[in-house]
Amino acid sequence: MHVFFPPRCPLCDCVLFHSLFAAGDMVCQKCRDKPEYITEPACMKCGKPLADDRQEYCFDCAKGKAEYTQGKALWAYQAEVKESLYRFKYQNRREYAAYYGAELVRAYGGWIQRCGIQAVVPIPISRARRRQRGYNQAALVAREVGKGMGLPVYEHLLFRVRDTDVQKALTGRERKNNLKKAFKTRENKVQLDHILLIDDIYTTGSTMNEAANELKRAGAAHIYCLSISIGRGH
């Protein structure tokens, strides 16, 4: 199968020749150091990288109340990461999820344990987008994180009750209004205290906030967020 469908680098999409006949790195050597990993200083709430190490919170988190307890992200949303996520979402590169998940577990496995996470829940997409795309990219990553951490993944605990506009085309206020009451839980009572939400991109936090709000409404106590990439704070 590898000969006809060879593994590709998730960052440049080139064939990983070293993996054709034996297991090897999941990313090519020239791309290994290209992504900008999130390090300190970072927002204590959402995890956005900050320019000033005297800051505790980014602009968005300082001025508004988040429904989730804390968020983290793997990479800054730039260059190779943008292109990689575009292929992952829109060009059927589902195999990238294994690398994303492995890196999230490597970087934040200890944090996930300290948070006492009981289950992993992906941000859902609408039925229309699911039919069009064929898969929910957040669910693919959630499975990998769940597998790596030995945690259950509840892919259908949350669902979208309506199709929303594409978030990246909206302003911050429009994003919040766009997502109001967009999610519902399939269970009237969620019997979980610590849930980890997974998404591919964190921008203003509107999506995570609305999903966390619905889970808390159904009884969950603490919601944590983990994303593959995140915008910059200021």
> Nearest-CA neighbor of 210 among 202, 107, 120?
202
CA atoms of 51 and 232, how far apart (whole Å) = 9
Domain with CATH 3.40.50 in the chain: 35-230
Planar angle of CA 94, 154, 130, nearest 5 degrees:
45
CA atoms of 34 and 145, how far apart (whole Å) = 22
Q: What is the pLDDT of residues 73-109, one digit of tens each?
A: 999 999 999 999 999 999 999 999 999 999 999 999 9
pLDDT: is 115 or 64 the higher one? Answer: 115
Contact 234, 43 (CB under 8 A): no
Say yes or no to pLDDT of 233 above 90.
Answer: no
224 Rama class: left (phi>0) / alpha (psi -120 to 50) / beta: beta
pLDDT band at 6, cuts 50/70/90?
A: confident
CATH architecture for the domain at 35-230: 3-Layer(aba) Sandwich (3.40)
Say yes or no to pLDDT of 173 above 80.
Answer: no
What pLDDT sits at residue 1? 41
CA atoms of 209 and 183, how far apart (whole Å) = 11
Contact 193, 220 (CB under 8 A): yes
Run of H or E including 158: strand 158-160
